[in-house]
Structure 1
Amino acid sequence: MMVQATDVSDSSAIDEMVAAVVDRFGRLDVVVNNAGVHEGGAPASITDKKWRTVMSTDVDGVFYGCRAALPTLKRPGARS
């Protein structure tokens, strides 16, 4: 088992995380994009900065995780 804290809103950090997993275990079998943040309040009270934090974590992070993992998941011999 491996635990590595990663800022999912940073695409290069995601790339490094996937590379670290492959370096340690030789492969990647599954991806679970399970990070999220919530900025409570009425929409009128949420600042642009808070909104970008939510979107970069909840949406961009999922995209970055999938994009970084797909080449490794599609390798010959990877589990399907």
Structure 2
Amino acid sequence: MLVVDDDFMVAKLHSRYVSVMDGFTVVGVAHNGADALRAAERLRPDLVLLDIYLPDMDGIDVLRALRAAEEQDTSRPSTDALFITAAR
């Protein structure tokens, strides 16, 4: 799983929570959309835990870019995504 959240403490909290769940492993953490896309390209996670509000692009745009990359490279497995936010 790739954890994406611009708040370092929230990303750490999500990573810790996921790390104790059976069947899930955090393979990377990113704090903005551009880093998330680079990490997803390099790590090819099965799942992305994705914050909606990021400093450079929103989580929906990140997912759109991930889907576009998957369409261009048919050998690339599809990545599932869960959207999250700590915003009030």
Structure with the largest fraction of helix: 1
Q: TM above 0.5, one fold?
A: no
Structure with the largest fraction of strand: 2
**Greater relative CO, 1 or 2 (CA 8 Å, sep 6+):** 1
Which one has a bigger Cα radius of gyration? 1
Tell me the TM-score normalised to structure 2 length: 0.36
Tell me the TM-score normalised to structure 1 length: 0.39
